Structure 1
Amino acid sequence: MIQSNPVLIIIDVQKGFEQDAWGTRNNIHAEDNMLTLLQAWRRQQFPVIHVQHASKSETSPLFPGTEGFRFKEGFGPVGDEYLIRKHKNSCFIGTELDNYLKENGYDTLILVGLTTNHCVSTTARMAGNLGYRTYVIHDATACFNLLSYDGETTFAAEDVHRLSLSSLHNEFATVTSTSEALRVLQSYQYIK
């Protein structure tokens, strides 16, 4: 048995990321896969961390107090599940995440959420650099079309998604699927 509790970190699954607000999105079943993983973690009583982006810009759809700041249906902490609110792209910047993980002996992170090329990627990069065993679940993350820096090209959401994940894989994290994460979860023994 693997001697570490895998922590599921669910990043920014908030109403402000509804499709029409941001444009064309890939992976429309990502939330279904996130919920499947969340339910599996809860059944096995493994640790779950929910992350909520609290934008400091009043015009952001993720500004506290707005409908967009709220978690999407089925998401958000239950019971003693941990909640972190962040203001930056990385879940580690300006939060207690690193200390919380270390204090509890958690070294294996499973990342899901929104969006692949922003907060998921930034968090995965920092997690890898901090020495965590990090996994990003490709079918439980998603992103939107992206306009190039010069405004001349619009990159399709699926291309942005695949490129973002490819940049992470075997460098900062291991990219895998929901079904593989569920299969591996069965090999873990809960450590108190």
Structure 2
Amino acid sequence: MIQPALIIIDMQRGMLEPAAGERNNPDAPERLTALLHAWRQARAPIVHVRHISRATTTLFAPGRPSVEFQPSLYPLPDEHVVEKNVPDAFINSGLERWLRVRGIEAVVIGGVSTNNSVEGTARSAGNLGFRTYVLADACFTFAKVDYNGVLRSAEEVHAMALANLQDEYARIIDSAEAAALLQTSELPG
């Protein structure tokens, strides 16, 4: 049995800075850290995704300390690291090839932000035929003004992003269900 890959998206130091904005799911980093340890213990595949901005004035500009991974989620030398400069981790990164070469057919996605990089990556994963799971309690996002000019809370933005993915691109699960995926030989649809 080839276990699902855990894909941790953009859990960089900059996401901890107040400049990142008001967010939901304050326990998401701890849940991701616990899942990372479970994946390591199971020797299951792990992918760390890091955003490197093309703009030099952002939190994620090359060379800034805010680009570095959060200490509790720092990759080990044998764990795969993908660098991206667009929201979708599959674009120009070789991620799909890395997964296919290893026979990996399922991915579990968590990180930040739910409505941007998590959603973009999950959409591509689903469209590429991977069995895709998104961690509702191990990803988070930020408050955002919608198209009509209405400020939406981080929780509202998060819930809508998950609704966009549910059943069409991914199955939405929590971290307890994700941990259980490591123990089963048959992944639920």
Counterpart Cα distance in 1 of 2:68 and 2:178? 27
In structure 1, runs of 5+ residues without a counterpart are none
Say which SS state the counterpart of residue 72 (structure 2) adopts.
coil
The Cα of 1:76 is off from its aligned counterpart by 2.4
Per-residue CA distance 1:29-82 (angstroms, 9 max, x = gap): 000100010000000111101011010100110111101101112112103100
Counterpart Cα distance in 2 of 1:187 and 1:113? 23
**Alignment pair present for 1:180 and 2:177:** yes
| Other-structure match for 1:69 | 67
Counterpart Cα distance in 1 of 2:56 and 2:147? 24
Checking the alignment, whether the CA contact within 8 Å between 1:6 and 1:109 is kept in structure 2 is yes
| Other-structure match for 1:24 | 22
| Other-structure match for 1:145 | 143
**Alignment pair present for 1:163 and 2:175:** no
Checking the alignment, whether the CA contact within 8 Å between 2:52 and 2:61 is kept in structure 1 is yes
Q: How does 1:83-98 map to 2 (within 5 A)?
A: 83-98=81-96
In structure 2, runs of 5+ residues without a counterpart are none
Q: How does 1:55-134 map to 2 (within 5 A)?
A: 55-134=53-132
Runs of 4+ in 1 over 3 A off after TM superposition: none
Counterpart Cα distance in 1 of 2:181 and 2:147? 39
Per-residue CA distance 1:63-121 (angstroms, 9 max, x = gap): 11101101112112103100110111100001110111111111100001110000000
Checking the alignment, whether the CA contact within 8 Å between 2:133 and 2:171 is kept in structure 1 is yes
Checking the alignment, whether the CA contact within 8 Å between 1:19 and 1:25 is kept in structure 2 is no
Counterpart Cα distance in 2 of 1:142 and 1:70? 18
Say which SS state the counterpart of residue 135 (structure 2) adopts.
strand
- Identity, in percent, stands at 37
Counterpart Cα distance in 2 of 1:78 and 1:18? 21
| Other-structure match for 1:52 | 50
Say which SS state the counterpart of residue 139 (structure 1) adopts.
strand
Please give the TM-score of this superposition, normalised by the length of structure 1. Answer: 0.93
Checking the alignment, whether the CA contact within 8 Å between 2:3 and 2:182 is kept in structure 1 is no
Checking the alignment, whether the CA contact within 8 Å between 1:88 and 1:94 is kept in structure 2 is no
Counterpart Cα distance in 2 of 1:120 and 1:19? 19
